[in-house]
Structure 1
């Protein structure tokens, strides 16, 4: 397949995938597509499966590329643990004939894993809720329906700076997830104004990540922007891990654990 065909296969599940992203993953040794005599890339079904594995691990598990590459190498060598093999089956759609997956190529003994639960929001997280494509426009009415909130609550979230509509008045899918989470937290007595502290903390963490990643994007190298985006993603993942550990430790201490 051409790189354009690969984009068509992956975009339904990963709307933010770009040609530069695929080229960057190739430069990092995560995929190795063949080249035609004229230099054009040609991708196999295996290449697409590896891409799905990498993108799913980044999106769902926030894993750094170094760790993902080690997992792929373990799979290639046959030394992968059961957990890694199951993760690969989940990423490549084992047991189903999805886009980029040839029918009947799944390992018969592996059962795909269900999406992880995030936060206190009840129910499993759908693929749409895990996407990061901010160009997907959501109307105000659609946001209210999908998040299960009313106009008053949404207005409070906007006033608190937790949700910001775009210039045309539309929202993105992250706003839906945020509103749903805020609604779940309100059941514990937390109002939108109380959640402002989370927003301020997130802004400080984002500023720190940007301060480190931004200079990389200013380089004149061809892949500078892709490297900056990957650096920001990995720093954000580490930040989330650190934040989670600190909150868990503090909660245990507060409860006397």
Structure 2
């Protein structure tokens, strides 16, 4: 398979995957597709299974590439000993049940990230999240939801709006979410300092590494926040 055909297979389960990411994983030694005499990548079924394992470990466990590489080495040894290559369990993801990026992709440079994002109208956002129009306006004033263009929103806006709606259903008020916005801004400032030096480099591999670093930082931050909240609630729950 060409890299475009591989991307078309992976995107229904991993919608954030791009050709740049596949090239980055190759540069990191996690997959080694063959090359045609003209230099085009050709992926085998085993290569695709290997990519699925890597992407699943990143998405579901937030594992860094170093750990994933070690796991792959162990599985390669098991496969060489005749244990076979286990297929990873997959969980399809996508905002509001949709899977962006299903269109056929060729072996060409990626389109800009904003071109791959879902575009939702305000009415779509309201219907998908369950928020009232007046509440959405209040949420926007706090900077929790930001339009990518006047009247248009991306998939992250839908995730945020739906989460806000759920919190409000439990009795919170929009004003209570100021602290959440402030905490997120602090994380953005901190993480930006870590990835900015990579982004400034002209090397495409460095920019891909910056995207991977950001993804890992976001996942680790989410796990840390959830664990701290669970720990803090133990006393209240009597556990």
TM over 0.5: yes
Distance 1:15 1:244 in 2: 24
Match of 1:199 among 177, 181, 190: 181
Shift of 1:143: 1.4
Among 163, 170, 177, which residue is 2:145 paired with?
A: 163
DSSP 3-state at the match of 1:127 = coil
Structure 1 residues 164-173 or 126-135, which shifts more? 126-135
State the match for 2:231 in structure 1.
Answer: 249
Cα 1:17/1:248, change in 2 over 3 Å: same
Could you report, residue by residue, the CA deviation over 1:34-85 in whole angstroms, capped at 9, with x for unpaired residues? 1223332110112112222222332233222222223333333339xxxxx9
CA distance in 2, matches of 1:220, 1:152: 44
Whole-angstrom distance in 1 between the partners of 2:57 and 2:135: 34
Structure 1 runs, 4 residues or longer, greater than 4 Å off: 130-134, 253-257
Whole-angstrom distance in 2 between the partners of 1:184 and 1:17 = 28
* Separation in structure 2 between the aligned mates of residue 21 and residue 127 of structure 1, nearest angstrom: 18
Question: How many Å apart are 1:173 and its aligned residue?
Answer: 1.6
Aligned match of 2:40? 40
Per residue, is there more helix in 1 or in 2? 2
TM-score of the pair, normalised by structure 1? 0.75
Sort the Cα spacing of 1:57 and 1:168 in 2 relative to 1 into closer, same or farther, 3 A. Answer: farther
* Aligned counterpart, 2:110: none
Structure number with greater CO (CA < 8 Å, separation at least 6) is 2
Unaligned runs of 5+ in 2: 80-84, 101-112
Which of 166, 171, 186 pairs up with 2:168?
Answer: 186
Q: Paired residues, what number?
A: 218
Give the match for residue 20 of structure 1: 20
Runs (5+) with no aligned partner, structure 1: 80-84, 92-114, 116-125
How many angstroms apart in 2 are the aligned matches of 1:256 and 1:14?
39
Shift of residue 184 of structure 1? Answer: 1.5
Q: Which residue of 2 aligns with 1:127?
A: 93
- 1:210 paired residue number: 192
CA distance in 2, matches of 1:153, 1:233: 30
Whether the 8 Å contact between 2:34 and 2:43 is mirrored in structure 1 is yes
Contact 2:119 2:155 in 1 (8 A): yes
- Mapped to 1, the partners of 2:121 and 2:55 lie a distance apart of 28
CA shift digits 1:17-49 (9 cap, x unpaired) = 222211110111211111223332110112112
Residue 128 of structure 1 deviates from its aligned partner by 1.2
TM-score by length of 2: 0.80
1:1-257 equivalences under 5 Å are 1-78=1-78, 88-91=87-90, 115=91, 127-129=93-95, 135-253=117-235, 257=239
Equivalent position SS for 2:175: coil
Given that 2:13 and 2:93 are in contact with CA atoms closer than 8 Å, whether structure 1 keeps it comes out as yes
How far apart are the structure 1 equivalents of 2:150 and 2:56? Answer: 31
